[in-house]
Amino acid sequence: MKMKYATKVSGGLSGFFAPYIAENFVFTGAIGGGITVDRGVYLELSIDYHNSKNGVLVENYINNTKINNSCIAKYVT
């Protein structure tokens, strides 16, 4: 199952909308959203998790690029 967390941001970290669920995605922001910062950078965080023989496997993506959990803050700064 993939969960996509997205919100449209304008002029700072505000403007969150009510969550909704569609097509196995859970959004925390506007439809078609992501995070757009003042300089026009668009970021979309998605979390893909599924069961494996070693337990639950969690993979994180920003703009469809797989990243290590510890790199999220580094990626967006």
pLDDT digits (tens, 9 = 90+) for 9-46: 334 433 333 344 444 444 444 444 455 444 555 667 67
Predicted local distance difference test score (pLDDT) of residue 30? 44
pLDDT at 14: 34
Structure tokens at 52: 């494996």
User: Among 29, 32, 34, 1, which Cα is nearest to 15's?
Assistant: 29
Q: Does pTM top 0.85 for this prediction?
A: no
What is the total count of domains within the chain?
A: 1
Q: Which domain holds residue 37?
A: 2-76
Taking a C-beta distance cutoff of 8 angstroms, is the pair 6, 45 a contact?
yes
Does residue 65 register a pLDDT over 70?
A: yes
Span 60-66, mean pLDDT?
72
Query: Does the structure show a pLDDT above 70 at 61?
Result: yes
